[in-house]
A = this chain, B = another copy of it.
Amino acid sequence: MSGYDLKQILDHSTAHFWHAHHSQIYTNLRQMEEEGLVTSQFIQEEGQPNRRIYHVTEMGKAALKGWLDRPMQEMSPIKEELLVRLFFSGQRESHQIIAELQHQRRLHLQRLKEYENITVRMGDEKKPIELERESRFWHATIQLGLRYEKAYLEWLDETIQMVESL
């Protein structure tokens, strides 16, 4: 597929746990072509925009397999800017902190609803038995998203209350 296609697919599938800008995708595809992981063909059609279509090579497939065969040894590191801000909020005014937490609450609630819509669209969240093997893994990534957003929202409510009580 093309860089543009890849970007669309990323935005509609992995965006909640891994994202990339189009500039990164285009440059990385070119790099991967130099490394022999993919090949490309430039397609010019009348009435259609130009596209550069990439195909994965055997080397590319082997590289992906090689990566999957080396299991993660560490936990993914976390960078949560809101916690940095909260950590340094000792001198801030409570109402400003509360406003910021409430804004985050709205965002996380919206995200939770998006995940809930996805699971509803996939069928019943309690019966993923009928799904194909590949879909199950994608379903699992959404499940972590759901749990994460629920936990985050509970924490936001608890923390808003805490700041209100100061």
Contact = CB atoms under 8 A, between A and B. Distances in A.
A137 B90 contact: yes
A151 B158 contact: no
Nearest to A154: B147
A134 B83 CA distance: 13
Question: Does more than half of chain A's interface fall in helix, strand or loop, or is it mixed?
Answer: helix
Q: How many copies does the complex hold?
A: 2
A23 B166 CA distance: 38
Contacts of A69: 96
B81 A76 contact: yes
Interface string A71-106: 111111111111111111111100010011001100
A148 interface: yes
Nearest to A61: B91
Contacts of A84: 14, 17-18
A32 interface: no
Interface in A117-166: 128, 133-134, 136-138, 140-141, 143-144, 147-148, 150-152, 154-155, 158-159, 162, 166
Interface of A: 13-14, 16-19, 64-65, 68-69, 71-92, 96, 99-100, 103-104, 107-108, 111, 128, 133-134, 136-138, 140-141, 143-144, 147-148, 150-152, 154-155, 158-159, 162, 166
